[in-house]
Amino acid sequence: MYSASDYRGMARRALKNYWWLAVGVTLLASILGGTSSSFTPSFSLTINGDDLTQYYPEALRHALQVFLPVSGVISLVQFVIGGSVSIGHNRFCLKLVDGEQAQFEDLFSGFDIFGNAFVLNLLITLKVIAWSLLFVIPGIVAAYRYSMATYIMAENPGMQATEAIERSKALMDGRKGDLFCLDLSFIGWALLATLTAGIGYLWLTPYMTVSRAAFYRSLPRSMGDRAPKAGSRTLARSRAATGTARTEHKNISPAAWLPGISASSDKIARILPHRAGR
């Protein structure tokens, strides 16, 4: 079982010669709505119900009347294409983790499954919102439950969105806390990045996303179509082999764990009677 520091170490090794490329790809992915830290321009125009625009100069109020609808359109476009951009960005990160040649063009590779990617993004959003209506914590748990679905679809472009979600639920069964600890381990870096007026996030965001890709790759069934499914003979054989290994391990005597302990015991048995005779 890997720890959060192990995943971060994997990410640093994967990014060793690709930092600037990863910064550019992740920044564009954020602008296009393909990451969890996507950038959308927005402003709060009220405080305690008081409309602040009444204090603005006339020219600024006219500018805001144009800007706010544009901001809404940008948000809509980000949501529509965000699924495809997320798929492409995940492919880019997985290539880095796998030691393959990652390219800038990988970011747009998800548009070949635009329909499935959009449906997946829509379903995940609706499910997380639905769970969030119960309480904040169930919404957070749901977000982690479905967090691997985009990685799964990135490796299985022909898969339906519902199947990718179900596979993500299976992968994250018992592992949601591990991913949460990985995300939480970046809180110190996030504070430092905030002190740099946000400039540090240019490097922190790819660091985090590649660490998540490393987490996905460490999951036992993150093998795309090669992954054994529940009820398959491959999975059954794997479980049988694991059970056999555990049984053999339990049957090993303590003497076998410490080489030489039997020989030492024989020497002691020969020495003690000799001294007793003295």
Query: What pLDDT, on a 0 to 100 scale, did the predictor assign at position 143?
Result: 94
pLDDT at 16 over 50: yes
pLDDT at 259 over 60: no
pLDDT at 11 over 50: yes
- Residue 129 corresponds to which tokens in the numbers above? 């919102």
pLDDT at 229 over 80: no
Please write down the HEC assignment for all residues of the chain: CCCHHHHHHHHHHHCCCCHHHHHHHHHHHHHCCCCCCCCCCCCCCEECCEEHHHHCCHHHHHHHHHHHHHHHHHHHHHHHHHHHHHHHHHHHHHHHHCCCCCCHHHHHHHHHHHHHHHHHHHHHHHHHHHHHHHCHHHHHHHHHHCCCHHHHHHHCCCCCHHHHHHHHHHHCCCCHHHHHHHHHCCHHHHHHHHHCCCCCHHHHHHHHHHHHHHHHHHCCCCCHHHCCCCCCHHHHHHHHHHHHHHHHHHHCCHHHHCCCHHHHHHHHHHHHHHHHHC
Least confident range from 9-18, 84-93, 266-275: namely 266-275
Looking at every residue in the chain, the average pLDDT score rounds to 78
Q: What is the pLDDT of residues 107-155, one digit of tens each?
A: 999 999 999 999 999 999 999 999 999 888 999 999 999 999 999 999 9
Query: What pLDDT, on a 0 to 100 scale, did the predictor assign at position 273?
Result: 44
Least confident range from 73-77, 170-174, 271-275: namely 271-275
Query: What pLDDT, on a 0 to 100 scale, did the predictor assign at position 37?
Result: 53
pLDDT, mean of residues 211-235: 63
pLDDT, mean of residues 192-210: 94
pLDDT at 157 over 90: yes
Cα–Cα distance, 153 to 88 (Å, whole number): 10
Most confident of 48-57, 229-238, 242-251, 265-274: 48-57
Query: What pLDDT, on a 0 to 100 scale, did the predictor assign at position 135?
Result: 85
Phi then psi for residue 173, to 5 deg, are -65, 110
* Confidence grade of residue 103 (pLDDT, cut at 50, 70, 90): very high
Query: What pLDDT, on a 0 to 100 scale, did the predictor assign at position 136?
Result: 87
pLDDT at 205 over 50: yes
Q: What is the pLDDT of residues 48-99, one digit of tens each?
A: 455 544 545 665 656 666 666 777 888 888 889 999 999 999 999 999 999 9
Query: What pLDDT, on a 0 to 100 scale, did the predictor assign at position 71?
Result: 74
Cα–Cα distance, 94 to 212 (Å, whole number): 9
pLDDT higher for 270 or 21?
21
pLDDT at 44 over 90: no
pLDDT at 239 over 70: no
Query: What pLDDT, on a 0 to 100 scale, did the predictor assign at position 178?
Result: 94
- Residue for token pair 């492409």: 88
